[in-house]
Amino acid sequence: MKPDEVLPHRPPFLFVDEIVEVVPGVSARGRWRLTGDEAFFAGHFPGRPTLPGVLMVEAIAQLGAVAVLADQRYASKLPLFGGIDSARFRRQVVPGDTLDLEVEMTRLAARAGKGRGTASVGGTTACEVELLFVIADR
C-alpha cells in the first residue's frame, strides 16, 4: 500500500514516503526520506538545515491516519488533530536522514482516538509524542 492510496494528503504536505507495515486500527510503521530539496530546509535554518519538530509530529500523525483509515470502519472518514501531548524532541534531523516512523493506537472509538508515536534516525529517537484525534466525515 502506498501512502497516497490511503491518505488524503498530497505533496508538498505528504510526509510519509513508505508504509512498511500496517495493522488496521492498531499500529503502523513507515518512513520519510529527507532529500534536502524540501522547501522548509531553505529557511529552517540557512547554513544549518534542520527538520522542524512540528513536521516530525505531523509525519507521525499522518502515519497514525494510515492505521486508522486502513480499518474498514473508518475508511471513508477523516482523522483530524484534536491535541498533542508530551511531545519531546531528542535529536536534530537533517537533509539525507531517513526518519523511521512508528505509531500505535492506544484508544480508538467511533468519534475519536489516541495514539503514541515515535520518529527515529538510525535507531536513535528524534521525537516521541502522544496524539489525540477526532474522526470526522469527509
Report field, pTM of the whole predicted structure over 0.75: yes
pLDDT, mean over the chain: 97
pLDDT in tens, 104-113: 999 999 999 9
What is the pLDDT confidence band of residue 99, given thresholds at 50, 70 and 90? Answer: very high
45 preceded by cis ω (within 30°)?
Answer: yes
**Pairwise CA distance, residues 129 & 118, whole Å:** 6
Interatomic CA distance for residues 132 and 134, integer angstroms? 7
Read off the pLDDT band of 100 (50, 70, 90).
Answer: very high
Instruction: Name the active-site residue from 31, 44, 87, 132.
Output: 44
CB atoms within 10 A of CB 27: 19
Query: Domains (ranges, CATH) in the chain?
Result: 3-137 (3.10.129.10)
44 is catalytic: yes
Q: Give pLDDT tens digits for 67-87.
A: 999 999 999 999 999 999 999
